Each structure stands twice: as C-alpha cells, then as structure tokens.
Amino acid sequence: DYVSTISADESILMFTSRRKARDGEEFDEYTYEYLEDIYISYNENGEWSKPKNLGKPVNTPRNDAISGLSFDGQRLFVYRDDEKGNGDIYESFLEGEKWSEVTKFPAPINTEYHESMACLAYDGKTLYFVSNRPETGAFGGRDIYMSKWDKRREIWRKPKNLGRNINTKYNEESVFIHPDGKTLYFSSQGHNSMGGYDIFKSTAKGRSWSKPKNLGYPINSPDDDVAFVVSASGRHAYYSSVQNEGFGRRDLYKITFIDPPTEPTQPQLTLLKGVVSDAITAEKLEARIEIIDNTLNEVVADFQSNSTSGKYLVTLPSGKNYGIVVTAEGYLFHSENVNIPASYGYQEVEKNIELNKLAAGSKIVLNNIFFDFDMATLRPESTAELNRLFKLIQENGSMKIEISGHTDNKGSDTYNQKLSENRARSVVGFLTEKGVTKERLEFQGYGESQPIATNDTEEGQQLNRRIEFKILSK
C-alpha cells in the first residue's frame, strides 16, 4: 500500500494498493505482484472506513495508481504506464456519486517520456508534476515542473522547471503543494538525503523557492519515504515508507504533530465548506463557485459544488479580501465576503448557501459592495460585484429591479435614512453609467428600519449595514 492522498479536510483518503482485489486476478508480468488499483476510505467519526476499490472506470485490468487529488476531493489524477515503460497522467471528475471516464492530459503536460505524480494547487489552475523529459534546463533524472491553466485559450501552458533549489541531478518524486499555496513538500534522492528518497520542505519566496529542509528522523529513514501530504489544518500528515514493523513491503503512515510542532507550523489559511441548495425546496444544487481577490478585481479560483450532494470545499490563504460568488442556472447569484488578515492562522468555516430562483420578489444581499465609513462613494473593491450585477441585468433584458440601502441603528433615523438612500443611489448611478436605462431601476433608502440581525453586537451591526438587490418584475 503506497502513495496516499487526502482531501483538505481529511474526510477522504485515497491510495494505491497491490492487494488482491478479486478471484482469478492476474499478476504484474514484471513484478509478479498483484496489479495496482486505487482504493478509497472515508473518515467516519475519526476512524477510517474499510477501503473500497474505486472500480470502473478508474481502475482497469492494467496497473492504475493514484497520482493526486484536488483539495475538494472531486478531481482525481491517475498514473498509467504505457507499452514502452514510460507513464502518463490522467484525470477523472466526481460527477454526483460516480467518477467520470478517465482522460489523458494532453501535451505539454504529458510527453513521450515519463510523467507521474501530480498536485493541483488551491486555485485549481496551477499544476505541479514530476517528469523525466530531457529538455534544456532539466537537472537530471526526474524533476518537478509547474504549469498554469490558460483560461482564455483553455490549455495548459508550457511547464516550467522549478529550478536548482528544488531539483537535483538525482530523482525528485511525489510533489505536494499545501492548501496555503506556498509550502511545497517533495521527495528526493538528492539534497544529502539519509538514504533512498527523503521528504523535504520548501517555501515559495516570490518566484523562487527556499533551500529545501530535510524533515529528518523519525519521518525520514534510510529507505524510501515518499508521497507526503499534509492536511489543511497542518495537524496531520500521511506518507508511504518502508519500516521494519510494517505489514508489507511498503505501508501508509499517519503523523500527528504535537506542541511544540516538529513540522509543519500552523498554516495561515481558512478552509471554507458547506452545501449549496435551493432556498425554497432545499434541493441540492450543482453550482459554480468563484473566488475573487477584491483588491485586484481578479478571479483567483473557480470550482463546482457536487451535483448530487451540493457539497463544496475551498481553501483561502490568509492576507486577502475575498469575494465568494455562487451561481447556478435559473438562480440569482449569491455573494459572500471573507476578509482574512495576513496574521490569521488556520480556521474552518462552515457556510451553507441557499440560492433564490430568478423570479419576481427574489432578493439578495450584495456582500461585496463597499463604502468608506459614513460615505456613499463606492470603493474600488466593489467593482467585481457591480459588474456581476450589471451582467445579470443585461442578460435579462426586461427585468426591473430595486436597489435598497440599509444601516445599523447608530445615528439618528433621519441621518441613517439619508445615508442608505445615497448609497443605493450610488449603485444605481454605476449601472446607468454602464448603460442600464433608468426605467428599469429603482432605489430606496430604508435606514435602520429593516434589520436582519441584532444591533446589540458589532457582528449584527455589520450585517445590517448592507445593499440589497430585489427583482420587481422579470
């Protein structure tokens, strides 16, 4: 049993095994062992369930090994070798409760040479993988590469070698980029290893990587230690090793880091997860989830909730003001704001999201529209949300809407009513400047008269200070 990987919240464990899967199963003609298959286990109240063979279409009568798993557990990377003894990376998507047909990554990820382990970063568009392609800039043996997804052209860009700080003249293997987006774990026969493959850690510094640190004993041993993956919380790690007390030639091991932690330190990130559903029927929905850097007005990640369970999971590194936007066909979009200071450590937030049908009377809070204190001037961070609202109105040509402003109970009734009205007017002004006719727009300031939370706490007051969007007619 070897090469394990987990979802970021440790709810899923997948691994490769040569255990006997069925009667009459053939042996590998080269190793004389049972063929490789991928297995899955679920975390049930802190205990791992009995592993289940993933079955078709992921596993085949040939060798199928796990290469990596997206942090939300819905995108699986598979390694398969070819007739020449080289190998390629494939992928499969979880569609409801079933895995899709396995498809091969195209060039330039796969080549005529050997590609094996892969890891998708938290943004869903940065892929790290291992290859022995003999190109200019390679360091010898197997090296670690990185490729970016080009959304406009819908292709993977030419992979870049991670450079001499990471790669050596020996083999590197089993790459893992932590959900914090900056901590890299990999195995190498170089960097003065203790013997065989050792596990190393490096941190991104701008466009370069820090000098790799050997994780040392008891994690590393004189034998091969590979496939090191760390939970989003940083509390647990899983890897494959050869140990005297093991059950087979290679086994899976779990590490719990205690205070004072050996490695790694607590990551600075937020794990956000929940379920997307219909606000009226509670039907679980497949929805698109966009993560926006509000400061840069840039989409940094793009995911889907599961079509059967409605579940989603995203990881958000600290130090950014994020907009979370959830959309599904026939529904109003839903937005959340998650502002995470750089000083914040690890936290888990559960947020279930209910979407309203695109119908007269439906309304939403525009959580990513921002004003300065006591002002009605729109801040630049509001641009992405305002453009999203404009697009919705344009796509529904006969829709008439109301923009309403609301405040907390600080200040006089008259002052709050005027402030809320001016803020609603600012939003309407943005839309008319973009070309929406005034006949389709109404605005109203309700002041403190329609609270949605208590005004006795700062958190409640913050919720009450809001801009709402309501469909008057469709």
Q: For position 140, what pLDDT does the model report?
A: 84
Q: For position 465, what pLDDT does the model report?
A: 93
Give 358-474's CATH code, choosing from 2.60.120.1090, 3.40.50.10190, 2.60.120.10, 3.30.1330.60: 3.30.1330.60
| Residue ranges of the chain assigned to CATH 2.120.10.30 | 2-256
Q: For position 23, what pLDDT does the model report?
A: 46
Fold adopted by 268-357: Immunoglobulin-like (2.60.40)
- For residues 336 and 38, give the distance between their C-alpha atoms in angstroms, rounded to a whole number: 37
Nearest C-alpha neighbor of 371 from the set 406, 343, 334:
406
Could you tell me the mean pLDDT of each successive run of 10 residues in the chain, 474 residues long? 91 91 59 84 95 95 94 97 85 97 96 95 96 88 96 95 95 95 95 89 93 91 92 94 67 83 72 97 97 92 96 95 95 94 92 96 95 93 95 94 96 95 98 96 96 93 94 94
Q: For position 26, what pLDDT does the model report?
A: 63
Determine if residue 6 is left, alpha or beta; phi over 0 gives left, psi from -120 to 50 gives alpha, anything else beta. Answer: beta
| Residue ranges of the chain assigned to CATH 2.60.40.2190 | 268-357
Q: For position 259, what pLDDT does the model report?
A: 63
DSSP-assigned beta bridge partners for residue 400: 473
Q: For position 371, what pLDDT does the model report?
A: 93
| Residue ranges of the chain assigned to CATH 3.30.1330.60 | 358-474
What are 340-369's pLDDT values in tens digits? 999 899 999 999 999 999 999 999 999 999
Is the domain defined by 2-256 classed in CATH 1.10.1200.10?
no
Nearest C-alpha neighbor of 5 from the set 56, 79, 59:
79
Q: For position 229, what pLDDT does the model report?
A: 97
The CA-to-CA distance between both ends of the chain, in Å, stands at 58
